[in-house]
Amino acid sequence: MAMITEELRAKAEVYHGDEICQEKSKFLLQEVGLPRGLLPLKDIIEVGYVEETGFVWLKQKKKIEHCFEKIGKLVTYAPEITAYVEKCKIKKLTGVKTKELLIWVSLVELSVEDPPTGKLTGKISSGLYRTFPTSAFELEEDLKKMEEKPEVEEKEKEKEKAVVSSAKA
């Protein structure tokens, strides 16, 4: 795990308390093009982000396990998680493990192709990887918005057609 030094803290935006940390962690995931439900943490104590390097850390009260129901994947999140984030990618990830067959393996990288509807790929240190639909990691509220969006766009197109038709008449 990367050491969170005082020097690093001095360069970072640091937030304390579960409510603001939940908000900031989801916002950061969204900003870099990753699903907002990727880090379903509880009782977050601290979130830090160094914008110039992309280094992020999250601290929660205790280790948690989460099952991503849509893909049947069990994942554990350590009390401290660190990573470097960039557009559509999390690198040098620490503190996150997933269960493969009967063993727990540490994830070291997560990336998304074609956000927001593409595939999320998780890699382990040996280079092996698995790919899943990003929708399996989205928050329910985000999935509903994505489902509603095509309907809204279609209604807007119908209104435009009606305006054009009435203008021609």
135-148 burial code (b ≥16 CB/10 A, e <16): bbbbbeebeeeeee
Residue 151, in any domain of the structure: no
Residue 16, in any domain of the structure: yes
pLDDT surpassing 70 at residue 148: no
The torsion region of residue 4 among left (phi > 0), alpha (psi -120 to 50) and beta comes to beta
pTM above threshold 0.85: no
Residue 47, in any domain of the structure: yes
Instruction: Give the domain CATH number at 131.
Output: 2.30.240
Residue 123, in any domain of the structure: yes
Render pLDDT for 12-36 as a digit per residue (tens, 0 to 9): 999 999 999 999 999 999 999 999 9
The pLDDT value recorded for residue 80 is 96
The pLDDT value recorded for residue 4 is 85
Residue 12, in any domain of the structure: yes
Residue 166, in any domain of the structure: no
> What total number of domains does the chain contain?
1
Going by pLDDT thresholds of 50, 70 and 90, the confidence category of residue 88 is very high
Contact 92/2 with Cβ under 8 angstroms?
A: yes
Residue 34, in any domain of the structure: yes
- 101: Cβ contacts below 8 Å, ≥ 6 apart: none
Which helix (H) or strand (E) segment is 10 a member of?
Answer: helix 6-11
Render pLDDT for 37-78 as a digit per residue (tens, 0 to 9): 999 999 999 999 999 999 999 999 999 999 999 999 999 999
Domain containing 29 equals 6-138
pLDDT surpassing 70 at residue 169: no
